[in-house]
Structure 1
């Protein structure tokens, strides 16, 4: 309506600015039209009341155009003191001012009405939303958060939970007490001593897979919690996480290990918090482990940046949260969120990290904060004990040869238990599927499992070797990770067709450092035998084409060539490791501890290691004799039981 009045105002005769009105009738019509617009704006009754308040009622009803113009001025400008009669020259200007005032009023009124209309619409929407929310809340209060669809899904989950095929075999046979963990006596004592203290230490556990690192840590906490000397409560948590699967966002949008902040815009905090733009911190595993142990398996695979963040938590014993959306002055922030942002979340725990990596590959900063424990590789006898114990907990009987057969095909306790579980399944199936009856696992069951898994013996049976000693063949020692093994090295030597023009060949796939060991051996052999290797065609081979990373096969290569040149057989129950210098000295090498265990697993009865590695020799060895050697003279004396002076003279 106001817009129509504006259009009507623009159509009033003579209403343009500075338009001169010569026709008195036109002025009269214009004044009448203006009063008509005012009547439309205020209404006839209200216009009369307004005119009465402004002493303009009699002037408005006057037949004089001048008096009616004065009435217009008083009503429009709300000024009852206007009395000056307008002169004919000023009438157009006065009417123009009146029109402008009415137009401004109408325009303002139009905007106000549009704004009021939108405000009313918005208020109506909010009112409807509020009514809807109240209704929803009332429904929830009466019926709860469930409906037919959610209840159906819940029932489906309940039905799935009720179906259980069986308890995991590994869960059933897993050790429940520390003494059930086989072959790690020293490591178990070390682990308990570090947790039983009033000031427990962070720990790094090194060792091959499947030897009981995780189980030992879990049982150690249970045992330590029973002691009055430790700060662990009986219900102290043991939180286990796999470092290989632990993922996080560098922007800290998500961090399951340390915790993160769910911002209200991007991630969506709880709805009631998001509506008020309040970020919500989410606690991580380090807080779940507060007061207990956080066990990270394969900690060496953890992201380096995340490792550094974890070190900061170990120092502070708290996790700090930050968010640009957090306003400490906001009165709507709940107390727990305010406490988390201002004080952080508690994270006072003991870290136990397990890894199959070499210690040199672990973050030095992490190593400096942790005590280090080494779990040893298992030998066949220990694997047999693990199989026997698992069979007892599984409540099955074993044929006498089953445990020994399994021990030939693996050195991992976990793998041994898995093989036993497969054989148990075969035995149950063979018995007709009656699980309640006593089941006996026979040799045929385990043989079939080994065939199905395409396994080959991990430990060769040395008792079946046809020759106790062979010319030009010797067992060196290697190590990969925490697992030692024997390396067969063989050599042949024939007189050259022409003296001084012999050839020395070596398989290149074994590596350049192993080839250097061959040339070092040639120099040493000339000195100790008096023979020129160039008078022979010599071929050295690493059986299986394995790559030798390092000079540790130097002594073994020297002895193999020596045996081939002089046709002296080497006992096949002896294994050797050590670097050879061109002066015939035996230098120290790495991995001696693991190599000795590898030699014992391979059925060796004697092993020769450098004298400088004497501190790496285990103190509780059984079934193998270790000799410390300094020079090639000592090696020849121990292997062939003769002196080099006699050899050179012959």
Structure 2
């Protein structure tokens, strides 16, 4: 078969093989090599070779079509001569040359290929030759500028076109040398106005010139940067040579020193291998770049961590008991449990054991107990506050993917401790951020506090395991409600409810006074605190479960005296009860919470708060109007349900309480819990609300020295609740004499000190009726009403009779 193309005839054949192209447009006079793989296209090529080698090439509208339909083809294409065809393993490679453009008039579907009948599609004649020459000259100038400023267009084509006067040849030659999209190239091919075609091409060349300009600018900037790096590399090599001549290389010296530190830390094999690998990277990279600084920081962390450094345990149970007694007064059961904890550690000779969680209000000594444990064990103590953290990276560290990455707080605490077996206190574990990432933090804590997993704790920054199994973990919390059950299961809870007034007085006289005197620049010769002064501060200024406000009050007095001593006004001052108000100011009214007398519709409840137990007043008022229950005081859903249950029980038993049923139809009941700005909720206000409601409906006063806590059912049974110890402590601080508790909470009284139980009478109740018997001044009898100004209630029947007489007289 000859490769010489036949001379095309002016007449067009009836049918011509069709070759669709996916992403290419062929112009007349354009020679192009194509890869043919589709079966119909290969058959069309074979048919053209067997005839006169003419083949009609047209572009398809969608490049994704594997075998395009007739409607997917453009109507205007190019008649080409098939110059050469080389068979391949899959398809063939052909060389074609465009002859002239034509338009499809009909498509024929042969058994193995498609054929077309085409018609001439010539250009229109030029009307204005002057405009034609001007536009063609502009196109050639712009095309030449692009060709000479880049390397994608052969410059020989520019010289060739300068001698061409045919605008179609110029336009198709230039368009064939540019990287045009199929729609752009097709629009040029289909254009019949030569001048208009040149205008379109000029606009395309203007955009191409901008692209080439930006491309050259980028290339120039890259070349300049490469030259800069080459220059820096050359200068660094010169510096190395000079330093070697002067007797050493500081960078090599630093690397050698770091290598010695790594080997001297006796790291685990995995950690040592990673550290040496990073050191090798550091030696190969530029020492001035930010990446080098990141690697140096990483190596500093690796050599600063206590991989194999331990403090010697010296657990002596007798000495530990002495330490605990020195540091803490009272808390006998807590100290007994700590001694058991230390005894287990001594016998097991391991740090694996139960994890203690101290739970209690602020200021009861949770952190100081952790310090005492560390002191008794002879270990370093490190406190890590978890309050407010929101991101898991705060615990596990940040990955070394950006500048400024740091290890997590656990690894930071280990570096701070300097030993592998410190006592690490995770403080405020209940105050971890509660957003959507908080669960990840608790998951990290589960791994950290699990002795079966923490021996391979992996910080994201270090990216190597670090053994935490020798760490003694102690946690603290104010409340258990926000700690997830799986994490709570890892720990042993030790409750610290607070201190009695006598215990606070003893602690203040033994510890707090001397500490505040020293902190404020005084000594025992300058000030003396009398016991009645401390008692006054406790009673009138600091009703709290812990000791912080008490110590602040003592510190405030010490500062006042320090100023007097500094001004030379006094040399020594005794602080008694009469001096407290003078030095501290008037007592805050917030502690004026006791009722002056027995009142109707007001019952005293007990509430648990993170700061300890407190008393809580529940007020009820009955008014004529539409029957409804109105609740105010920022109550939660549980307390609202308790109010509904209390009212339902009283209505169901109205006959026993001698309450007419008409009273409920004509009465609007309002229950209010003061301090509405503070949210209140919890399952322990049922008794209190029922007592307040019954009091206002029966007009019977509630005893002011009685406080109560417990939840009720619709059948009047009293259910046990939590926080009994804290609530009784709060009741004693408020001056309550009688506390009503559920019968099921009697077992909780064993944890309450005897001196507390001597100050208050505890009344366990099984039903709400038992609570009513104790709470009211007299048992609720006939329905009565109180006349304003009268000291004793007047029966409702007598009041109604008075009203009837007044109506008759009127």
TM-score range, shorter chain: 0.5 to 0.7
Structure 2: distance between partners of 1:521 and 1:241: 50
Residues 1:434 and 1:388: Cα distance change in structure 2 (over 3 Å): farther
Q: CA deviation at 1:530?
A: 2.7
Q: CA deviation at 1:206?
A: 0.8
Runs of at least 5 residues in structure 2 that lack an aligned partner in the other structure: 1-228, 254-321, 433-437, 518-523, 785-794, 798-810
Match of 2:501 in 1: 380
Match for residue 214 of structure 1 among 346, 363, 367: 367
Match of 2:599 in 1: 470
Match of 2:618 in 1: 489
Q: CA deviation at 1:579?
A: 2.6
Residues 1:348 and 1:262: Cα distance change in structure 2 (over 3 Å): farther
Match of 1:74 in 2: none
Once the two structures are superposed, the pairs formed by residues 376-455 of structure 1 within 5 Å of their partners are 376-389=497-510, 390-393=512-515, 394=517, 395=524, 396-408=527-539, 409-410=541-542, 411=544, 412-433=546-567, 438-441=572-575, 446-447=580-581, 450-451=584-585
Structure 2: distance between partners of 1:624 and 1:489: 21
Structure 1: distance between partners of 2:247 and 2:440: 46
Match for residue 569 of structure 1 among 701, 704, 716: 701
Match of 1:193 in 2: 340
| Conservation of the 8 A alpha-carbon contact between 2:355 and 2:490 | yes
Structure 2: distance between partners of 1:139 and 1:582: 84
Structure 2: distance between partners of 1:284 and 1:413: 31
Residues 1:517 and 1:508: Cα distance change in structure 2 (over 3 Å): farther
Structure 2: distance between partners of 1:543 and 1:557: 13
Structure 2: distance between partners of 1:616 and 1:437: 51
Structure 2: distance between partners of 1:381 and 1:484: 17
Structure 2: distance between partners of 1:431 and 1:121: 68
Match for residue 520 of structure 1 among 648, 652, 666: 648
Structure 2: distance between partners of 1:557 and 1:122: 83
Q: CA deviation at 1:266?
A: 4.8
Structure 1: distance between partners of 2:460 and 2:717: 64
Residues 1:135 and 1:247: Cα distance change in structure 2 (over 3 Å): farther
| Conservation of the 8 A alpha-carbon contact between 1:377 and 1:482 | no
Match of 2:674 in 1: 543
Match of 1:637 in 2: 773
2:387 maps to 1:244: yes
Q: CA deviation at 1:126?
A: 0.9
Match of 2:443 in 1: 308
Structure 2: distance between partners of 1:610 and 1:354: 29
| Conservation of the 8 A alpha-carbon contact between 1:578 and 1:609 | yes
Match of 1:529 in 2: 657
Match of 1:101 in 2: none
| Conservation of the 8 A alpha-carbon contact between 2:427 and 2:477 | yes
Match of 1:371 in 2: 492
| Conservation of the 8 A alpha-carbon contact between 2:643 and 2:686 | no
Alignment deviations for residues 399-426 of structure 1 (CA, whole Å, 9 cap, x no partner): 4442123213221312211221121010
Match for residue 318 of structure 1 among 455, 459, 474: 455
| Conservation of the 8 A alpha-carbon contact between 1:377 and 1:483 | yes
2:356 maps to 1:203: yes
Counterpart of 2:772 in 1: which secondary structure? helix
Choose between structure 1 and 2 for higher RCO, CA contacts under 8 A separated by at least 6 residues.
Answer: 1
Once the two structures are superposed, the pairs formed by residues 154-173 of structure 1 within 5 Å of their partners are none
Q: CA deviation at 1:599?
A: 1.4
Residues 1:214 and 1:120: Cα distance change in structure 2 (over 3 Å): closer
Structure 2: distance between partners of 1:323 and 1:647: 72
Residues 1:552 and 1:322: Cα distance change in structure 2 (over 3 Å): closer
Structure 2: distance between partners of 1:121 and 1:605: 86
2:253 maps to 1:127: no
Structure 2: distance between partners of 1:364 and 1:596: 27
Structure 2: distance between partners of 1:180 and 1:601: 25
Counterpart of 2:656 in 1: which secondary structure? helix
Match of 2:290 in 1: none
Alignment deviations for residues 21-49 of structure 1 (CA, whole Å, 9 cap, x no partner): xxxxxxxxxxxxxxxxxxxxxxxxxxxxx
Counterpart of 1:376 in 2: which secondary structure? coil
Match for residue 426 of structure 2 among 296, 314, 326: 296
Q: CA deviation at 1:180?
A: 4.5
| Conservation of the 8 A alpha-carbon contact between 2:633 and 2:674 | no
Alignment deviations for residues 444-501 of structure 1 (CA, whole Å, 9 cap, x no partner): 76436644xx972554475xx543x33332211222235221112234457x6xxxx7
Once the two structures are superposed, the pairs formed by residues 454-465 of structure 1 within 5 Å of their partners are 456=588, 459-460=591-592, 462=594
| Conservation of the 8 A alpha-carbon contact between 1:406 and 1:419 | yes
Structure 2: distance between partners of 1:526 and 1:137: 101
Q: CA deviation at 1:315?
A: 2.6
Residues 1:388 and 1:132: Cα distance change in structure 2 (over 3 Å): same
2:609 maps to 1:480: yes
Match of 2:163 in 1: none
Structure 2: distance between partners of 1:589 and 1:125: 75
Match of 1:508 in 2: 632
Counterpart of 2:505 in 1: which secondary structure? helix
Structure 2: distance between partners of 1:596 and 1:476: 11
Structure 2: distance between partners of 1:220 and 1:206: 16
Match of 2:325 in 1: 178
Once the two structures are superposed, the pairs formed by residues 28-43 of structure 1 within 5 Å of their partners are none
Counterpart of 1:244 in 2: which secondary structure? coil
Q: CA deviation at 1:137?
A: 6.0
Q: CA deviation at 1:513?
A: 2.9
| Conservation of the 8 A alpha-carbon contact between 2:658 and 2:782 | no
Match of 1:160 in 2: none
Q: CA deviation at 1:285?
A: 2.2
Once the two structures are superposed, the pairs formed by residues 284-363 of structure 1 within 5 Å of their partners are 284-286=412-414, 288=417, 290-302=420-432, 303-313=438-448, 314-321=451-458, 341=464, 344-345=466-467, 347-357=469-479, 359-363=480-484
Match for residue 602 of structure 1 among 728, 734, 748: 734
Q: CA deviation at 1:383?
A: 2.9
| Conservation of the 8 A alpha-carbon contact between 1:258 and 1:284 | no
| Conservation of the 8 A alpha-carbon contact between 1:426 and 1:445 | no
- Write 1 or 2 for the structure with the bigger share of strand: 2
Structure 2: distance between partners of 1:590 and 1:363: 18
Residues 1:121 and 1:447: Cα distance change in structure 2 (over 3 Å): closer
Structure 1: distance between partners of 2:551 and 2:506: 11
| Conservation of the 8 A alpha-carbon contact between 1:205 and 1:213 | yes
